[in-house]
Amino acid sequence: MERPRNVRITFEPYGKRVEVERGITIFEAVTKAGLAIRSECGGLGTCGKCKVRIKDPMSVSEITKVERNILSPEELRGGLRLACQACVLDDCMVYVPPESRIGERKILEVGFEQEVPLEPAVRKIHLMIPKPSLNDVRADYERMIDTLSRILEVRGWQGEKFDEMRISRELLANTPRILREAEWDVTVVLRDEEILEIERGNTEGENYGLAIDIGTSKIVVYLVNFNEGNVIGVSSIENPQLMFGEDIMSRLTFAMRSHENLSLLNKVLVNGINATIGEIALKSGVNRDNIYEAVVVGNTAMHHLFLGIEIKHLALSPYVPAVRDLLSVKAQEADLKINKRGYVITLPIIGGFVGADGVADLLATGLHKSNEFSMLLDIGTNTEVFLGNKNEILACSAASGPAFEGGHIKFGMKAVAGAIERVFIEPETYEVKYKTVRGEKPVGLCGSAVIDVVAGLLRSGLIDVHGRIREKPEVSRIRKVGNEVEFVVAWREETGIDEDITVTQRDVREIQLAKAAIYTAQSILMKRKGIKPEDIKKIFIAGAFGSEISVKNAIFIGLLPEVPEERVKFVGNTAIAGAKMALISKKVRKESREVQKLVNYVELSLDPSFQKEFINATELPHRDLDRFPKVKDYLTKVRN
Amino acid sequence: MERPRNVRITFEPYGKRVEVERGITIFEAVTKAGLAIRSECGGLGTCGKCKVRIKDPMSVSEITKVERNILSPEELRGGLRLACQACVLDDCMVYVPPESRIGERKILEVGFEQEVPLEPAVRKIHLMIPKPSLNDVRADYERMIDTLSRILEVRGWQGEKFDEMRISRELLANTPRILREAEWDVTVVLRDEEILEIERGNTEGENYGLAIDIGTSKIVVYLVNFNEGNVIGVSSIENPQLMFGEDIMSRLTFAMRSHENLSLLNKVLVNGINATIGEIALKSGVNRDNIYEAVVVGNTAMHHLFLGIEIKHLALSPYVPAVRDLLSVKAQEADLKINKRGYVITLPIIGGFVGADGVADLLATGLHKSNEFSMLLDIGTNTEVFLGNKNEILACSAASGPAFEGGHIKFGMKAVAGAIERVFIEPETYEVKYKTVRGEKPVGLCGSAVIDVVAGLLRSGLIDVHGRIREKPEVSRIRKVGNEVEFVVAWREETGIDEDITVTQRDVREIQLAKAAIYTAQSILMKRKGIKPEDIKKIFIAGAFGSEISVKNAIFIGLLPEVPEERVKFVGNTAIAGAKMALISKKVRKESREVQKLVNYVELSLDPSFQKEFINATELPHRDLDRFPKVKDYLTKVRN
């Protein structure tokens, strides 16, 4: 049997060589070479996007009428051809110019997050659809799908199940009109197998998504460009549910009372998010209709309240969530104001109050892939603690209160301009040095400063291990106002508020309770795992809380176990970073479900040692000083 | 290596023997044997449904506490055990009593349709879900899915993708409440991978669907029991769109004028169907909420109008439908009043006006599976004609008008009580015999009677081949009223309407036009296929038109080609039968898409011979008498 004559083609700049049957088009040869070339018509000869340069004009077939219509005389003289028109006659070299190349998939890294391939669920594909005629009476929808399939094949997106392509009745009902008004030049928005939208002209450039982190106190929204995978806008607001209570439990109690209350909590939350989306879209010059997907994370209560799911049983023993799995919901069903056919994805929940934000934290830090033991603390009004490695992760949630975010602290405030963020108390002279955000006149204290003050007082012997401030006549900064003892951090004349800025005895108590809650969580997880602080190779600290806290002081007051300081890494808002990863990568979405399965939730309150451990942890740094040998050394020296 | 000790179990009454590892439960062994056993808890020991009888009590493990709680002392004495509790210790014989068996899938045959396995997309599964406790804090949804998975496995429904189970946000939001109100005893309604509903208690028995045939003139609805696959209620109404025009084209013209008009046509149609559903549900004592799916068929125009899809381009050359593919739409989106989370499926469309009803016709007759050439006529206001075999089918649509359904005929009526359905004219004496529906006094003529009259007049030489009624003095039944000649079928004194019932010259013309349209369609398809009437082994006649028409007369006037009479088979409403097949069988739904691909649509008006062929076919039986050799013989004899 005679084999058909084959020819060899080399594609530059790829340096890719392929042997193909003589007579096929270069367009077909590109596909056989496993390369991709730009095309909007899928090789029909109508779009003119698949320009290539042929080294030897004699190695391919003659210039066609189509090419004479589409290419300029200069282009033809320069050896340019349309890949879909030129047939290969002999061995040849084909150069694919930059304008005809399809960008390779990009690898991203933004902030502290894991690198993930850019593979969003939502894709936009520009189509030039051949018009119907008496000789081509395919139905409008099939006509569109046919063109779409060709393009996807050309772009190497195989394995699509076109048989299972879905479209809503309402969009389908309008398809004939849209296609004709656009003169068959449209961009299809595809989410997996569903056609979300048919847009007029080429709108491939306008493809956006949202990552949304619903914290108990704060909501953060990222606007992400799906074409590049980068964040193009950030916005945040206070959680408007705050008016129904600062902590989760008081909101759940309110929601439990009636269906109207639940519905109200849902509405204020969603309205707040919608306002933020509006703002970020306006700022970034993006049309809401071009936002097709949102990935939402938050603790279990926020997750349920966002979706309007009943939370009665979450608030009562045995604290059962309604659902833990990753959910994909129509944006309209969740009342989120993005493209009306868009989708909202909520990442899986771990258990108890440890929600989708926890899964996002793990995704962003990669803790679940590590061989070594790592710990992750997401510090907020509720603090989530994770401990483990790629084999198993334990998780729990501690009600740490808002002290570290400046809440319940007399002069507490967020880390905005004028907030004191670092404080140093000279142990001998009790002199105070401080630093404010942006160097402005001090107006209050943020969480990191309060930690510094407590540590500084302890180091100076001005408070005892029980946290009681010691009044000393030689220390003018310590004074009693009414029944309350307080320490003056900044004198009225230095401040911008015409008042002394102080840390009160009550503030110290708040910090003690907060750090005790967080330490107890860490301690019980270590006990369950049977490991000691030195076994923990890395401690990730996530949360708005920020990178400004002093690790040394955090250990000194017993907020963190005593580990070498360099093992502690501040990772910022990993919840939103993880949400963003899941937004731009279908692989990460899948991974999120595996992460969930890896994590075992520990209900702290059921641990028999919880009460005792918590009480002991309220001391500074801890009643059992042997857990903090270096601090013990220091304190012993000071006392002697 | 030592193999683990195996034991042999024989399951009766199946006579199935299986070798399994010693120590496993009988429940597990049942699965290994490829058998199925009833269970609602999936082997948890809570439902008590998996009772079996063990021949030798010593061959299995001891009676457990669970069994003592669930089984009565009599049952225990009788050798009954729970399959999930008893472990196999030695070779044994296990009898599965009838109450523990799961019914095998049923094979059905109702009316003229193909036998299909009962495999609906909607299934109901009764679950007894273990309650949450401090030791079992699975989320409500996962808890339910876990129990569901167990049951489906036990019932042998493997290959379900539980990972991809879907549920609407709104149902999920209510899941915690529903589960607790039902005390964890619920029935889940599953449609493929979507949970449509969670119902209180065991409602497996209440699982219904609808087959709906939207004809241009008539809408037929079947209510089908998914558990048995049988039709439990039938209802039909006139298509309420009739008020906007009798034929498709006038409705399309109306709909094209404005979006409001389109929307109006959609609304009256859907309202009409909803009223019919209400009536049939009431009659059958079925709750609408227990109807979870509807399969809808109709011609392309009805299909588009039902879904509210723009039809402007369907009405104008090149007559392009918006979509041809099978569609699955939420019932709510289509405004159909069944379960609020139910679905509507429309079968695929073939092309031009040959719609989903055509696909259903083919499914019901099985024409697409036959080796021999068959023809299928679905006679109505529009008549669809199919010709082909398993390799290829040609299809076309002819605007035949309503004459055969009694429309545009002076005394025309539907085949209801009092309608003359058969007429015999004695060729020598011109005496008339007739038969009415239910034997009541005649009040009008239905289509079959008009055919009989035209054939009778032709046979008696009372009309010529052009259809002109010959006035003869000796024939008192022929008379002239004004300008119109007419033939009296029944005298006033015989009738129930105090009037002579006649067939007018104009009626004969209507019949000629109608039969010419239908014959032309058949003739052009035969020409395209290159076959002669004798090659056609079967002619299926579908449509409300009914089995009462005389094949002999239909051939005599040239409505059908001259084939041996026994080759003609009346198959009734195959559109609804095919819809019903697709309703109860997922396999048939898949098949419907294959059928669609097999059919090539022929646009009659584009055929160059169409005009001439149509004019020739208006003669009785046809200008080219050689096409009807037997009729020619007869007529030649009569004339001589």
Look up the CATH number of the domain holding residue B157: 3.10.20.880
List strand residue ranges (DSSP E) for A478-629, in order.
478-481, 484-490, 501-504, 538-542, 568-572, 599-601
Residue B604 lies in a domain: yes
Q: Is the pLDDT of residue B324 over 50?
A: yes
Looking at the structure, do residues B348 and B366 belong to the same domain, yes or no?
A: no
Cβ contact, residue pair A318, B132, below 8 Å: yes
- Answer whether residue B401 shows pLDDT above 60: yes
Pair B344, B228 in one domain: yes
User: Is residue A368 in some structural domain?
Assistant: yes
- Per DSSP, helices labelled H in B328-460 are 356-365, 447-459
Four-CA torsion B213, A140, B305, B218, nearest 10 degrees: -30
From A200, A216, A240, the end of a domain falls on: A200
Range scoring the smallest mean pLDDT among A319-333, A363-377, A410-424, B468-482: A410-424
CA of A246 vs chain B CAs: smallest distance (Å): 24
Start-to-end C-alpha separation, chain B: 100
Label residue B437 by pLDDT band (50, 70, 90): confident
Average pLDDT, chain B: 90
| One-letter amino acid of B545 | F
Does the pLDDT of residue A96 top 50, yes or no? Answer: yes
Inter-chain residue contact B333 with A169, CB threshold 8 Å: yes
The whole-number pLDDT of residue A492 equals 94
Q: What integer pLDDT is reported at residue B109 of this predicted model?
A: 29
The whole-number pLDDT of residue A3 equals 53
pLDDT tens figures, A516-558 = 999 999 999 999 999 999 999 999 998 766 557 899 999 999 9
For residue B237, give both structure tokens.
Answer: 């109404």
Q: Are strands B444-445 and B419-425 parallel, antiparallel or unpaired?
A: parallel
A240 upstream amide cis, omega within 30 of 0: no
Please tell me whether residues B471 and B434 are part of one structural domain.
Answer: yes
Percent of chain A clearing pLDDT 90 (strictly above)? 67
* B132 vs A contacts (CB less than 8 Å): 313, 318, 320
Place of tokens 């989760």: A248
Residues in chain A closer than 8 A to B334 (CB atoms): 169
pLDDT score, position A380: 83
Q: Please give the pLDDT value at position B161.
A: 55
Residue A187 phi/psi, 5-degree rounding, is -120, 125
Instruction: Please count the residue pairs, one from chain A and one from chain B, whose beta carbons lie less than 8 angstroms apart.
Output: 148
pLDDT at B540 over 60: yes
Q: Is residue B300 part of a domain?
A: yes
Tokens of A561: 């176990």
Out of B136, B324, B328, closest to residue A139 by CB:
B324
Q: Computed from CA positions of residues A59, A64, A70, A71, in that sequence, does the dihedral angle turn out positive or negative? A: positive
Inter-axis angle of helices A629-639 and A447-459, nearest 10: 50
Residue B141 lies in domain: 122-200
Section A67-95 average pLDDT: 90
Q: Is A148 on the interface with B (CB under 8 A)?
A: no
Give CA separation, A623 vs A88, A607, A618, B45, in Å. 83, 19, 8, 49
Least confident of A97-111, A383-397, A576-590, B403-417: A97-111
pLDDT tens per residue across span A269-328: 999 999 999 999 999 999 999 999 999 999 999 999 999 999 989 888 888 999 999 999
Interface residue of A143, A172, A590 to substitute, partner B, most B CBs within 10 Å = A172
Residues A535 and A466 in one domain: no
A174-192 tens-digit pLDDT: 999 999 999 999 999 999 8
Q: Is the pTM of this model over 0.90?
A: no
In a domain, A325, yes or no: no
Distance from the Cα of B318 to chain A's closest Cα (Å) equals 5
Within a domain: A320: no
Asked if residue B381 and residue B430 are part of one domain, the reply reads no
A316 in contact with B, Cβ within 8 Å: no
Kindly determine whether residue A322 and residue B176, on different chains, have CB atoms separated by under 8 Å.
Answer: yes
pLDDT for res A115: 84
pLDDT at A407 over 50: yes
Among residues A441, A476, A511, the one where a domain terminates is A511
Which position has the higher pLDDT, A193 or B487? B487
Residue B194 sits in the same domain as residue B216: no
- Residue pointed to by tokens 């939402």: A296
pLDDT in tens, A562-577: 999 999 988 888 999 9
| Bigger pLDDT: B640 vs A365 | A365
Helix, strand and coil content of chain A, in percent to the nearest 5, comes to 35, 25, 40
- One domain, residues B216 and B187: no
Query: What integer is the mean pLDDT of B309-316?
Result: 90
User: How crowded is the C-beta side of B149, counted as CA atoms within 13 Å?
Assistant: 13
**What six digits make up the tokens of B137?**
């804090």
Listed residues B142, B177, B200: the one ending a domain: B200
The CATH number of residue B330's host domain is 3.30.420.480
pLDDT value for A157: 65
The Cα of A355 is separated from the nearest Cα of chain B by a number of Å equal to 12
pLDDT above 70 covers a percentage of chain A that reads 95
CA dist B49 to B10, B11, B63, Å?
20, 17, 16
pLDDT > 90 fraction of chain B, expressed in percent and rounded: 67
- Judgement on whether residues A411 and A383 belong to the same structural domain of the protein: no
Q: What CATH number has the domain bearing residue A33? A: 3.10.20.30
Q: Does the beta-carbon distance from A322 to B351 stay under 8 Å?
A: no
Let me know whether B226 and B185 are in one domain: no
Model confidence at B295: pLDDT above 60 = yes
* Averaged pLDDT, B14-35: 85
Predicted pLDDT at B229: 92
Query: Does residue A125 have a pLDDT over 60?
Result: yes
pLDDT at residue A106 tops 50: no
Claim to verify: residue A501 and residue A579 sit in the same structural domain = no
Q: Are B149 and B231 within one domain? A: no
Q: What is the pLDDT of residue A161?
A: 54
**Residue B209 phi, psi dihedral angles, 5° rounding:** -140, 170
* Residue A615 belongs to a domain: yes
Which band of pLDDT confidence, cut at 50, 70 and 90, is reported for residue B236? confident
- pLDDT of B570 higher than 90: no
Q: Taking residues A89-104, what's their average pLDDT?
A: 79
Residues A453, A486: one domain? yes
Q: What is the pLDDT of residue B35?
A: 77
B320 lies in some domain: yes
- The total of structural domains in chain B comes to 5
B106 confidence band (pLDDT: 50, 70, 90) = very low
Give the DSSP letter of residue B47. Answer: S
- Does the predicted interface ipTM exceed a cut of 0.90? no
Q: Does A245 score more than 90 pLDDT?
A: no
pLDDT tens-digit series, residues B174-186 = 999 999 999 999 9
Is residue B108, in this structure, part of any structural domain at all?
A: no
